Amino acid sequence: MKIKLINKTGSSELLLFFNGWSMDDKPFRHLSAGIDILMFYDYSNLANIAEIAALVNSYKTVSISAWSLGVYAAAELLNGYDFGFQSATAINGTLSPIAPDNGIPPETFQATIDAWSEPAQKRFTRRECSAKYYEFFQKNAPERSVEDQKHELIELQKRILLEPEQGNIFKTAVISSGDKIFPPVNQHSAWAQQKIEVNEIDEPHYFFASLQRWEEVRDLGKT
């Protein structure tokens, strides 16, 4: 797991952002902020929670936003730790990401691993971003190799199959009605079981190109 303090303003507020699989900070560099941002990505292994806790506890206000497979990774890492999050929002992901009814169907997840290559990456990006954000994403694509991305997905799959569902750490969820990665109907099913508030938006799986500030990411769960 890679951890990067991508915005250091001297603010007393920190946003923990758990990125999606295959990502780094590049598709998010256009976002400005008046708060500090700690980004997590590349979930090939877990981070040292003690080191993270030391940093988090130095802030007066802490929020968490997690996107896609970052929803599972956030819960996997932070379960059992009470940082008193001001807000905790899951975006286009679930706590059981490999599941026929509450996540990505297992055969789809496996097929993504089996087919992963540069052509498959381009097809995935089209589904992830739709035509709306495809060009933006291609110009700001993660600086990671397909081999590295595939390794991460395999390692994530191993951990998810060992522990198919994480306990809930989130207060709200955001679901894109046009999500072609995590089926929206499955997301609704998963969060209904957790009995938390859901905000549905008319967007594809990746839509952050439409935002300008990290505070907007933090506040996505607000209706």
Q: Left, alpha or beta for 157 (phi > 0: left; psi -120 to 50: alpha)?
A: alpha
| pLDDT averages per 10-residue partition of the chain, 223 residues | 91 97 98 97 92 91 97 94 92 98 98 98 98 98 98 98 97 98 98 97 98 98 82
223 part of a folded domain: no
* Sign of torsion over alpha carbons 147, 97, 101, 164: positive
- Dmax over CA atoms of the chain, in Å, equals 46
33 part of a folded domain: yes
146 part of a folded domain: yes
| pLDDT for res 153 | 98
| pLDDT for res 66 | 98
| pLDDT for res 79 | 87
Strands 36-41 and 197-201: unpaired
Token duo for residue 218 = 């933090």
pTM exceeds 0.85: yes
Nearest to 194 by CA among 95, 97, 106: 95
19 part of a folded domain: yes
Q: How many domains does the structure of the chain reveal?
A: 1
182 part of a folded domain: yes
Domain CATH code at residue 9 = 3.40.50.1820
38 part of a folded domain: yes
| pLDDT for res 223 | 66
Those residues with Cβ within 8 angstroms of residue 7's Cβ, 6 or more apart along the chain or in another chain: 33, 35, 36, 37, 214
| pLDDT for res 203 | 98
Those residues with Cβ within 8 angstroms of residue 145's Cβ, 6 or more apart along the chain or in another chain: none
| pLDDT for res 114 | 98
